[in-house]
Structure 1
Amino acid sequence: MGKPCYLPSVFKSLGGRYKRIRKRCKSKPNASIYALKKAYLHELEKLSRAGLIELFYGDESRVSSEGYVPYGWQFPDEEVAVYVEKGHWVNIWGLISRQNKCHWATTERTITGQFVMEKLDKLSLSLVKETFVVLDNASVHHAKLLQDRLAIWQQRGLFVFFLPTYSPHLNIAETMWRKLKMEWLVAEDYLEKDSLLYAVNRCMATIGTHLNINFSPFNAN
């Protein structure tokens, strides 16, 4: 009788790795536009590593009081649960660099083009070197009032770069949201509206000091 087959060992011997399965958009970006924009983003990454520019990736997210704790340890005779309070959430606007520099703001209101414009306008007045902000193609990022500010921001040294469509995997801000919801927030943070708001603000405020993300290098291929 042969030895039992331990599948993880087999997978590892074939070069496999146990890792999170990423979500990807079902639709595909235009291949030529995708290649062009990715090449441009690669150049921005090189300038950032050389210290010649600041490079941030921006996005919005929502943390709901219904909780986001998909896994956890549970022992015999112990009930593990996330107690929810429906109807409350925190919306977050955030910019993150691979060096864990972070600009952020929270609100209990809907994040609009006006909100994004105000945050980028504030950033444009505090720059010490040319800064590029990478955004996806959400409608709030293409609002007319943002488009009307682009020329002014460029004069101040702030430039907005839009990712190719259907390419969330290029935006490292997605990693920040995943870390926040799956690792940094704990079950007790969701108990009440105020505790959730405090916990989200506490986490965002300590990115780059107590909380750091080891981002993977930019994949130019």
Structure 2
Amino acid sequence: MKKKEWKWKRTRVSLKGKQKEQEFGQKKKELEKLKWYEKKGYIKLKYLDEAGFCLWSSASYSYSKKGEQKKIQQKKKRGKRLSILGLFSQEESFEYGLKLGGFQSKSYIEMINWQAEKAEDILKKTGKITVIVLDNYSVHKSKEVKKNLEKWRKKGLEFFLISAYSPELNLIETEWHQLKTHELSGRMFEDEYDLAMAVIDGIEKRSKKNNCVWERFRFD
């Protein structure tokens, strides 16, 4: 196969077929402009997204002795989904919150209120507004969330919605991939606590590699 220029690579799921090409192109241009503003020191960009984990993680490649194959004993308990809401600022910070089950408007608002306080502090100290890049997940646009937008803006916090089915525009997606592939892949956990500890440890390792400060938000 190598002689025929074939290479062994992991298959990647693509959403390009669902994208609206014109909208994607426009959003990409706008995001590039925001990146330029950040580079010039006018704003601070953060990339927000949610991800989920369970007690069973997918088996992956691993090293083993010749003639042997590594096996992972699957647990009977599937457990509850552990959700994470993260905000990634390239080469600066990784901020996140963990929650059993999915994120709803109430918990999302709690997290953004925390971010608004940080944005207000940044605005007072540097004059920069904070812009959060995020997708079109329904919670991000719920009625409860919209009621808080003006309050957050007054604190120096703005939002930039990327086009639908465009994970490549959100830098935090790479962090989720690295966390799941290199820190959690092929592991089974006894319970949700062990899973949460593994996620926290994985985030700390990734943050160190990225020269980022990490901080966890604790929900009420």
Q: Secondary structure at the match of 1:126?
A: helix
Amino acid at match of 1:101: S
Across the two proteins, how many residue pairs are aligned to each other? 203
Question: Structure 1 residue 44: deviation in Å?
Answer: 0.7
**1:80 aligned to 71, 77, 83, which one?**
71
TM-superposed CA distance for 1:82, in Å, is 5.0
SS of the residue corresponding to residue 36 of structure 1 reads helix
Deviations 1:1-22 (A, max 9, x none): xxx9723xx46xxxxx876543
Alignment-derived partner of residue 217 in structure 1: none
Q: Does 1:6 align with 2:3?
A: yes
Question: What is the letter of the counterpart of residue 124 of structure 1?
Answer: A
Mapped partners of 1:31, 1:158: distance in 2:
29
Relative to structure 1, the CA distance from residue 136 to residue 194 in structure 2 (aligned partners, 3 Å threshold; closer, same or farther) is: same
Residue deviations 1:140-194 (CA, integer Å, cap 9, x gap)? 1111111111111111111111001121221122111111111022645634432
Separation of aligned partners in 1, 2:30 and 2:149: 19
Counterpart Cα distance in 2 of 1:69 and 1:54 = 38
Separation (CA, whole Å) in 2 of partners of 1:187 and 1:175: 19
Q: Deviations over 1:34-76 (max 9, x none)?
A: 2222111001111122232111111111111011332222322
User: What is the CA distance between 1:27 and its match in structure 2?
Assistant: 4.3
The secondary structure found in structure 2 opposite 1:32 is helix
Aligned partners of 2:51, 2:144: CA distance in 1, in Å? Answer: 21
Cα RMSD of the aligned pairs, angstroms, is 2.6
Equivalent positions of 1:133-148 (< 5 A) are: 133-148=132-147
Verify: 1:54 aligned to 2:44, yes or no. yes
| Unaligned runs of at least 5 residues, structure 1 | 12-16, 214-221
Q: TM-score, normalised by structure 1?
A: 0.80
Contact 1:189 1:199 in 2 (8 A): no
Where does residue 164 of structure 1 map in the other structure?
163
Match of 1:212 in 2: 210
* Contact kept in structure 1, 2:59 and 2:187, CA below 8 Å: no
Q: How has the CA–CA distance of structure 1 residues 36 and 26 changed in structure 2, closer, same or farther, with 3 Å as cutoff?
A: closer
Q: Deviations over 1:180-221 (max 9, x none)?
A: 11102264563443221111122234543x2328xxxxxxxx
Amino acid at match of 1:81: I
TM-score, normalised via structure 2 length: 0.80
Give percent identity, aligned residues only: 26
Aligned to 2:30: 40
Secondary structure at 2:118 match in 1: coil
Q: Which runs of 5+ in 2 are unaligned?
A: 123-127, 212-220
C-alpha spacing 1:130/1:5, structure 2 compared with 1 (3 Å): closer
Q: How does 1:180-195 map to 2 (within 5 A)?
A: 180-185=179-184, 187-188=186-187, 190-195=189-194
